[in-house]
Chains A and B, each alone.
Chain A
């Protein structure tokens, strides 16, 4: 029997949707990221003003002082759309699960000296609440930001922050049970070490400009916090002192920080590159919020790194400043 394989080639009439095509260079097919993202948000002829914010339209670029001719320049270099994001996180979750299995089957967390366990909990448990603030702030960027290229990754980031808060919770439960969570919350609310940071987080919760909020949360605060805690404290110090189990089960956080930094850098870089005015504005925010974040994190550095506290936080700040330089932001 012979099979006729001469199927007639049907030529497509077009490559993609019009609202996507204008962002695709040349006559190329659009990527999945582009079809999921570009031009997705409604832009005009809105019917009613929000009863909760009658000064603005539902989707309104003027909620930010940053001015962009087209907010879709804020592309995500990771090219995340829901599917790639969910699949990437599922894979990372598999890795976290194997780490927990490894650590728990060998009793590695229990085997840590009590003082080290206490130190881990003292430093990490209040950070559940910092991540929760990060969740709320990124959710807010998703709710009031302009352009899907900017807001969709912010919403993924919000859920990631919830994931981080839950990973820290899981670690606390694995080490000691709910009482360390309670103590962490008590420290967060009352312990003087945490009050400057709590004030910082609460102040970000009322920032009205979505881009300033992005800078204060994702760039200044997390840009200092993650290197300080998840790299210097956990990967450098704890690993040397018998706490590598903690490093294993928190590897998501340092990996996540590296991955998401690519996106955060790209957003800042593109927005600042568009005009001198944007650059001044964003650089001003970066400098002001980084100064505040550095102060807020100083007591945490003390708690985590003791005599190496100053060096650690200054190192983190120097790294952030050089990152800013690479992103084309005006030097301080």
Chain B
């Protein structure tokens, strides 16, 4: 037995190579271009897939071990939360509206990411990129599923969550996140990675996750905090994939730089517009606030992002075109977005409200140059009207931007007193935009954006009524028919928080303790 020869142990890198890249082969019974038909038409040139550095050398055995352990801990917390009626421990019932936005607008994006990465994970010719994408695909599925399980308990006790997936496919403002992700998924695999892994995960994800997760922590929502933490190690893998993929593509061929730059310009702006909803959540919807949108933008975008683009300059990449306008917007967009939802709250399945006195003070302090001057008077006026029993609900439909699909509510950069409108003609039809950047995205790819399912247009075309609706009958109420199509429970899911069932129930469950709500 002493003659047993010890085989030389392979190092981590060659071992991982044997476990992944060694599995692949050049097909010959079927043409390689038929087996991998989708990774050339975007114009990205890859000369040597072997130069791809695997961002995390994780084999399936290790993956299962880490992830299994994390799931065990996470579900223990979710179970305990439900058993102990954790939903009663939150700061006040207004907080739940942040979760409503999350389950309506973010969780379905996790699902779309899962699907998009499955497509990339099948279709990159390079094995390293394929395996990394596949792992991200199941991670994203995990996020959709753990979010459904975490928020399930809230859905049992609060309104505005019970039809979340139905709403994602139909309700007007949810076409903003939906069209964002479908735009990425309908692109080729390289654009998908630049859009999601780089522009979204790497550049902007902190602006999404930090506000929601620290918002949850500050407002006593321990189950959301736990899934946030649990998702964090997945996210750091995803961010590593984002930076690896962009460097790899840029190093492969100088002709790739211009294509990638255009994608960065596009996806930075698309992502920034999408985050308007996070901005308003952060400034208006958290009863206990963490930091303002402006502060978050300065920390995560201006300083971190600034350093990143300095680093990418050596490849010939410059900061995205919309960068300066996005920085200029930090003083405004949260207020403009909240005002919009306050207006259209009859058609939105979550609650809005006017900030109370202490919150007005906080906003004034955080936005010294803009809040008191441009926005506070509006909210004060709304509050006055509400006190007199005249809560303002806007019942007309707004004009939408053809690209980002947000109502035209953003100001002209440098001129907060006027609204920014842009337009262009394409094949004798006029299209409208909220900004130069959304217009440019359209003109680069008009054949894609003319297809957009714009909720307001669809309503006017009669496509958002329940089947069998006859809009010609006398007394036809189009708004009621649309809410019917949305399956919004009128009076429960929508309207002002002050008059809501959520508020009434929560007060009862807490034994009559009243929160500081205006009016």
Cβ A202 vs Cβ B30 within 8 A: yes
Partner of A202, one of B35, B68, B114, B142: B35
Cβ B162 vs Cβ A18 within 8 A: yes
The reply to whether the CB of B85 lies closer than 8 angstroms to some CB of chain A is: yes
Chain A residues whose CB sits within 8 angstroms of the CB of B511 once the complex forms: 8
Max chain A Cβ within 10 angstroms of own Cβ: one of B8, B15, B24, B186? B186
Cβ A13 vs Cβ B65 within 8 A: no
Cβ A90 vs Cβ B118 within 8 A: no
Partner of B169, one of A14, A42, A156, A177: A42
* Complex CA distance for A185 and B178, rounded to whole angstroms: 44
Cβ B168 vs Cβ A156 within 8 A: no
Min CB gap B155→A, angstroms:
6
* Complex CA distance for A35 and B153, rounded to whole angstroms: 11
Given contacts A47-B183, A58-B185, A173-B18, contact A152 B141 (CB under 8 A): yes
Min CB gap A299→B, angstroms:
16
Contact with B along A4-36 (1 / 0, CB 8 A): 000110101111111100000000001010011
Given contacts A19-B166, A46-B182, A206-B30, contact A90 B68 (CB under 8 A): yes
* Complex CA distance for A70 and B173, rounded to whole angstroms: 28
Given contacts A35-B152, A205-B35, contact A143 B138 (CB under 8 A): no
The reply to whether the CB of B282 lies closer than 8 angstroms to some CB of chain A is: no
The reply to whether the CB of B416 lies closer than 8 angstroms to some CB of chain A is: no
Cβ B185 vs Cβ A143 within 8 A: no
The reply to whether the CB of B163 lies closer than 8 angstroms to some CB of chain A is: yes
Chain B residues whose CB sits within 8 angstroms of the CB of A32 once the complex forms: 149
Q: Could you say which of B195-203, B360-368, B445-453 contacts chain A?
A: B445-453
Cβ B67 vs Cβ A86 within 8 A: yes
Cβ B25 vs Cβ A178 within 8 A: no
Cβ B188 vs Cβ A51 within 8 A: yes
Cβ B448 vs Cβ A48 within 8 A: yes
The reply to whether the CB of A89 lies closer than 8 angstroms to some CB of chain B is: yes
Cβ B137 vs Cβ A155 within 8 A: yes
The reply to whether the CB of A107 lies closer than 8 angstroms to some CB of chain B is: yes
Chain A residues whose CB sits within 8 angstroms of the CB of B449 once the complex forms: 48
* Complex CA distance for A35 and B130, rounded to whole angstroms: 29
The reply to whether the CB of A227 lies closer than 8 angstroms to some CB of chain B is: no
The reply to whether the CB of A83 lies closer than 8 angstroms to some CB of chain B is: yes
Min CB gap A264→B, angstroms:
19
Cβ B65 vs Cβ A93 within 8 A: yes
Cβ A155 vs Cβ B165 within 8 A: no
* Complex CA distance for A204 and B1, rounded to whole angstroms: 47
The reply to whether the CB of B513 lies closer than 8 angstroms to some CB of chain A is: no
Cβ A91 vs Cβ B68 within 8 A: yes
The reply to whether the CB of B443 lies closer than 8 angstroms to some CB of chain A is: no
Q: Which residues of chain B in 83-110 are interfacial with respect to chain A, using CB atoms and an 8 Å cutoff?
A: 85, 88, 108
Min CB gap B9→A, angstroms:
9
Contact with B along A172-199 (1 / 0, CB 8 A): 0110111001000100110000000011
* Complex CA distance for A143 and B37, rounded to whole angstroms: 14
Chain A residues whose CB sits within 8 angstroms of the CB of B118 once the complex forms: 139-140, 142-143, 151, 155
Cβ A16 vs Cβ B155 within 8 A: yes
Given contacts A46-B453, A83-B71, contact A58 B60 (CB under 8 A): no
Chain A residues whose CB sits within 8 angstroms of the CB of B28 once the complex forms: 202
Chain A residues whose CB sits within 8 angstroms of the CB of B159 once the complex forms: 13
* Complex CA distance for A233 and B8, rounded to whole angstroms: 29
Q: Could you say which of A163-171, A234-242, A285-293, A305-313 contacts chain B?
A: A163-171
Q: Which residues of chain A in 124-147 are interfacial with respect to chain B, using CB atoms and an 8 Å cutoff?
A: 128-129, 131-132, 135-136, 139-140, 142-144
Given contacts A169-B22, A198-B29, contact A178 B10 (CB under 8 A): yes
The reply to whether the CB of A49 lies closer than 8 angstroms to some CB of chain B is: yes
Cβ B25 vs Cβ A189 within 8 A: yes
Min CB gap A20→B, angstroms:
8
Cβ B29 vs Cβ A17 within 8 A: no
Chain B residues whose CB sits within 8 angstroms of the CB of A42 once the complex forms: 108, 111-112, 165, 168-169, 178
Q: Which residues of chain B in 302-316 are interfacial with respect to chain A, using CB atoms and an 8 Å cutoff?
A: none
Number of A residues near B (Cβ < 8 Å) is 88
The reply to whether the CB of B380 lies closer than 8 angstroms to some CB of chain A is: no
Partner of A96, one of B7, B61, B63, B122: B61
Quick one: closest B residue to A158, CB to CB? B134
Chain A residues whose CB sits within 8 angstroms of the CB of B61 once the complex forms: 93, 96-97, 163, 166-167
Quick one: closest A residue to B59, CB to CB? A166
* Complex CA distance for A132 and B188, rounded to whole angstroms: 23
Contact with A along B14-27 (1 / 0, CB 8 A): 11001110111101
Chain A residues whose CB sits within 8 angstroms of the CB of B452 once the complex forms: 47-48
Cβ B451 vs Cβ A82 within 8 A: no
Given contacts A17-B164, A202-B35, contact A178 B71 (CB under 8 A): no
Min CB gap A137→B, angstroms:
9
Chain B residues whose CB sits within 8 angstroms of the CB of A223 once the complex forms: none
Min CB gap A315→B, angstroms:
28
Cβ A45 vs Cβ B156 within 8 A: no
Given contacts A173-B18, A198-B29, A202-B27, contact A18 B134 (CB under 8 A): no
Max chain B Cβ within 10 angstroms of own Cβ: one of A7, A107, A129, A136? A136
Chain A residues whose CB sits within 8 angstroms of the CB of B67 once the complex forms: 86, 90
* Complex CA distance for A86 and B68, rounded to whole angstroms: 5
Given contacts A15-B156, A45-B170, A50-B186, contact A155 B22 (CB under 8 A): no
The reply to whether the CB of A159 lies closer than 8 angstroms to some CB of chain B is: yes
The reply to whether the CB of A110 lies closer than 8 angstroms to some CB of chain B is: yes
Contact with A along B319-342 (1 / 0, CB 8 A): 000000000000000000000000
* Complex CA distance for A83 and B230, rounded to whole angstroms: 12
Chain A residues whose CB sits within 8 angstroms of the CB of B179 once the complex forms: 47-48
Cβ B131 vs Cβ A162 within 8 A: yes
* Complex CA distance for A202 and B25, rounded to whole angstroms: 10
The reply to whether the CB of A41 lies closer than 8 angstroms to some CB of chain B is: yes
Min CB gap A310→B, angstroms:
26
Min CB gap B483→A, angstroms:
15
The reply to whether the CB of B47 lies closer than 8 angstroms to some CB of chain A is: no
Chain A residues whose CB sits within 8 angstroms of the CB of B24 once the complex forms: 132
Given contacts A32-B149, A132-B24, A202-B35, contact A86 B64 (CB under 8 A): yes
Q: Which residues of chain B in 420-463 are interfacial with respect to chain A, using CB atoms and an 8 Å cutoff?
A: 448-449, 451-453, 458
Chain B residues whose CB sits within 8 angstroms of the CB of A158 once the complex forms: 121, 134
Contact with B along A81-118 (1 / 0, CB 8 A): 11100110111111011000000000100100000000
Min CB gap B436→A, angstroms:
22
* Complex CA distance for A13 and B159, rounded to whole angstroms: 9
Given A48-B451, A129-B25: 17 more A-B contacts, CB < 8 Å: A13-B505, A15-B156, A19-B165, A45-B175, A47-B451, A49-B451, A82-B142, A82-B146, A107-B4, A132-B24, A140-B122, A142-B137, A155-B114, A158-B121, A173-B7, A173-B18, A199-B29
Contact sample, A vs B, 13 pairs, CB 8 Å cutoff? A45-B170, A48-B183, A83-B74, A139-B122, A158-B134, A159-B138, A160-B60, A163-B60, A169-B22, A178-B14, A181-B22, A202-B35, A205-B35
Instruction: Give 5 closest A-B pairs by Cβ, nearest first.
Output: A90-B68, A163-B60, A12-B156, A36-B145, A132-B23
